[in-house]
Amino acid sequence: LASSLLATSALAQTPPMAPDIGARFEAPLDAHDYVKRVVMIPMRDGVKLHTIILVPKGAQRAPMLLTRTPYNAAGRTSRAVSPNMLATLPAGDETMVRAGYIRVFQDVRGKYGSEGDYVMTRPLRGPLNNTKTDHATDAWDTIEWLVKNVKESNGKVGMLGSSYEGFTVLMALADPHPALKVAVPMSPMVDGWRGDDWFHNGAFRVNTLHYIASQTTARGSGSELATGVYDDYDSVLRGGSVADYAKRFGLDKLNYTKKLFEHPAYDSYWQHQALDRILGARKLTVPTMTVVGQWDQEDIYGAYAVYGALEAQDADNKRNYLVIGPWRHSGVNYDGSSLGALKFTGDTALEFRRDVMQPFLDQYLKDGAPAADTPPVLSYQTGSNRWQRLPRWPLAASTSTVYLQGGFGLDFKQPAAGAAYDEYVADPAKPVPFVPRPVRMGDRDVWQPWLVRDQRFVADRPDVLSYVSAPLKAPMQLSGAPVVNLFAATSGTDADWVVKVIDVYPDEMPNQPAMGGFQLPLSMDIFRGRYRNSLESPAPMVANRVERYRFALPNVNHVIQPGHRLMVQIQSSWFPLYDRNPQSYVPNIFHAKAADYVKATQRVYHAPDAASSVELPVVVHPPF
Ligand code: PG9
């Protein structure tokens, strides 16, 4: 034994005490089908932005696709540790990888590896931004660098990305670099007050605070809120006003929280950032395909608003395109076969990316690629479950008005004289939940499909009114944004109104038994009553006076099938997603005091002279 040990140590060349972690390790990359370059790209003010470029090995004259992100470029380019570019990049990039594209991800200024200051959804240079840089200049400087320095490229760049990344795509369009040939903003954040992310029609989305913590408590990944409570319903309710809740976690010290609290109304701070207004006032030169999910639980407003604002400039249908899929927020980049209980005809997201988006990108980015056959509007119509190539959006050229009726009916005819209203007591101490309790807003399975959740869990609450039609005799095709005309009175001096348009399935669904009686929300939103006359200048209501509240609901493209019924549901809270209205008027609801939260009696009218209704974008108007 002694002699064999001796023999072993004589052969050994690595001393037992050689350090096992060396100065630098580089794995061989011969098997990789791509080359990864990590560079710091200088902007015009000297700030350098951390950029990751993946070049397919052997690429020549390849086009480049750029995504500018606040969500960690390094993470976005390492789905798997793999020698294959396909496995390394996000699932939604599959068709681009197969088509040989160079892929670029960049950390926006101030986040993760990039230098500079981070400002949440940094406004364009102008009244709100007195620096020399914004996302338009940063995109410009980045593209300038890419076309000069990536030798494998053909000098053509496209931009795409979803949500915040979609916002940075739109920002680049404010002053596009000449090499930016095509843009695909997906579920872009466009207007944080009207209906994307932070507020909906003035009602504040409490989960915004969690987002601010995750994005602005650190340059990298920020912290989560240590609530110590499983059910967000309890946690937020006990928290009191939004300002008190924020304070509990120290979030009141963060600048973005302060900015939100200082701008509860649609003042110039919000108006100057509204990207539909900004882009609508400029010339659209870059072919742009704006993409959105019909049930986008984060940015359901902006895509349609931008498309609408740009459409006036696109009489020849050459630059402004819209795609509406049956998806949740950013669902376009994942599996699109189902959403909640809804099942579609296949992976609709892949179908779009492969058959529509990729040819569109190729047309503008690949040398010599043929023109793609892109319709002005592509939309997956739910209910009938089929893709539609449409000439415009909205498709419905006019509306059909459906009226609330006494006895909780719903009909296309005006209500007759009779009981003039229905009423309920809205109690801020017992707000209506937006999903069944326990509420876990951060759980993907709860959050992502919540807009298609069966509404029966609240339909019978005494503080929820449900008006329902007779079974339809013929299909009813909705294609556009329903508009609410609510005649209501409150015993308080402020109130929120939540209105839902719902497809009620037949009692029995032989081929899908669990869908019997399902209440599928097609379009629903909240409106903060104080903004009924002006979004900018709120005003108290006069207690018990009937007033009209008119507001648009999110867009819908759906067929309600024969035998189904149409329902309109009304309630005065949607908690804890939306902050509670105290129901007694205070100048700034963020800072409401405990005593301001009072019960109120809400009356919803269905009288000939106060006929609450919803204008429906019906393509063909069938009788019930
Ligand atoms: N909806 C998210 C967001 C966008 C813009 C600002 C803040 C949040 C997102 O998914 O990126």
DSSP string for residues in 491-550: SSS--EEEEEEEEEPPS--TTSGGGTT-EEEEEEEEEEGGGSS-SSS--PPPTT--EEEE
Of ligand 1's listed atoms, the one at least distance from the Cα of 120 is 6
Work out the burial of residue 548: count CB atoms within 10 Å of its CB; fewer than 13 is exposed, 13-18 middle, 19 or more buried: middle
Question: DSSP H helical segments within 124-254, as ranges?
Answer: 135-149, 164-172, 207-216, 232-239, 242-248
Is the pLDDT at 9 greater than 60? The verdict is no
Question: pLDDT tens digits, residue range 23-74?
Answer: 889 999 999 999 999 999 999 999 999 999 999 999 999 999 999 999 999 9
CA within 13 Å, CB half, 295? 24
Strand partners, 185: 161
Question: DSSP H helical segments within 104-231, as ranges?
Answer: 135-149, 164-172, 207-216
Ligand 1 centre distance from Cα of residue 326 (Å):
19
CA distances from 180 to 135, 157, 190, 244, 486 (A): 14, 5, 20, 45, 45
Nearest Cα neighbor of 582 from 564, 566, 574, 594 is 594
Instruction: Name residue, tokens 């406004």.
Output: 123
CA distance 576 to 434: 7
- Tell me what pLDDT residue 8 has: 54
Which residues have CB under 8 Å from 6's CB, separation 6+? none
Ligand 1 centre distance from Cα of residue 355 (Å):
27
Ligand 1 centre distance from Cα of residue 124 (Å):
17
Strand partners, 423: 603
Q: Tell me what the mean pLDDT of segment 259-286 comes to.
A: 98
8 A C-beta contact, residue 481 and residue 617: yes
CA 133 to the chain's CA centroid: 26
DSSP 8-state code for residue 14: S
Ligand 1 atom 3 nearest Cα: 164
Peptide bond between residue 475 and the one before it cis (omega within 30 degrees of 0): no
CA distance 505 to 49: 52
Residue 424 tokens, joined: 């309920």
Question: pLDDT tens digits, residue range 200-225?
Answer: 999 999 999 999 999 999 999 998 89
Between 255-262 and 207-216, two packed helices, what is the crossing angle to 10 degrees? 140
483 in helix, strand or coil?
A: strand
Ligand 1 centre distance from Cα of residue 164 (Å):
5
- Tell me what pLDDT residue 418 has: 85
Is the pLDDT at 243 greater than 70? The verdict is yes
ipTM rounded to 2 decimals:
0.97
Buried b (16+ CB within 10 A) or exposed e, 178-215: ebbbbbbbbbbbbbbbbbbbbbbbbbbbbbbbbbbbbb
- Tell me what pLDDT residue 223 has: 87
Of ligand 1's listed atoms, the one at least distance from the Cα of 192 is 6
- Tell me what pLDDT residue 18 has: 92
CA distance 364 to 213: 39
CA distance 483 to 523: 10
Average pLDDT of the chain, as a whole number? 96
Greater pLDDT, 296 or 22: 296
For residue 621, name the pLDDT band (cuts at 50, 70, 90): low
Nearest Cα neighbor of 330 from 358, 287, 293 is 293
Of ligand 1's listed atoms, the one at least distance from the Cα of 71 is 11
CA 27 to the chain's CA centroid: 40
CA distances from 460 to 221, 234, 519, 569, 612 (A): 42, 22, 12, 10, 20
DSSP string, 556-615: EEEEEPTT-EEEEEEES--BTTBPPP-SS--S-GGG--GGG---EEEEEEEETTEE-EEE
Is the pLDDT at 315 greater than 50? The verdict is yes
DSSP 8-state code for residue 172: H
CA distance 593 to 240: 8
Ligand 1 centre distance from Cα of residue 196 (Å):
8
Q: Tell me what the mean pLDDT of segment 489-505 comes to.
A: 98
CA distance 304 to 525: 15
Residue 476 backbone phi and psi in degrees, to 5: -120, 120
Q: Tell me what the mean pLDDT of segment 84-106 comes to.
A: 98
- Single-letter residue type at 405: Q
- Single-letter residue type at 20: D
Residue 475 burial (CB count, 10 A): 16
What pTM was computed for the model? 0.96
Ligand 1 atom 6 nearest Cα: 164
Q: Tell me what the mean pLDDT of segment 308-313 comes to.
A: 94
Ligand 1 centre distance from Cα of residue 166 (Å):
9
- Tell me what pLDDT residue 7 has: 53
- Tell me what pLDDT residue 3 has: 52
8 A C-beta contact, residue 403 and residue 468: no
Is the pLDDT at 623 greater than 50? The verdict is no
DSSP β-ladder status, 421-426 and 483-490:
unpaired
Ligand 1 atom 10 nearest Cα: 163
Peptide bond between residue 576 and the one before it cis (omega within 30 degrees of 0): yes
Among positive and negative, which fits the CA dihedral 438, 441, 445, 450? Answer: positive
Ligand 1: list residues with CB < 6 Å. Answer: 121, 163-164, 167, 189, 197, 211, 298-299
Calculate the dihedral angle through the C-alpha atoms of 464, 469, 470, 475, rounding to the nearest 10 degrees.
-130
- Tell me what pLDDT residue 397 has: 83
- Tell me what pLDDT residue 448 has: 98
Ligand 1 centre distance from Cα of residue 339 (Å):
20
- Tell me what pLDDT residue 332 has: 98
Of ligand 1's listed atoms, the one at least distance from the Cα of 121 is 6
For residue 11, name the pLDDT band (cuts at 50, 70, 90): confident
Work out the burial of residue 217: count CB atoms within 10 Å of its CB; fewer than 13 is exposed, 13-18 middle, 19 or more buried: middle
Strand partners, 496: 528
348 in helix, strand or coil?
A: helix
CA 232 to the chain's CA centroid: 21
Question: pLDDT tens digits, residue range 357-392?
Answer: 999 999 999 999 999 999 999 999 999 999 999 999
For residue 105, name the pLDDT band (cuts at 50, 70, 90): very high
Q: Tell me what the mean pLDDT of segment 258-263 comes to.
A: 98
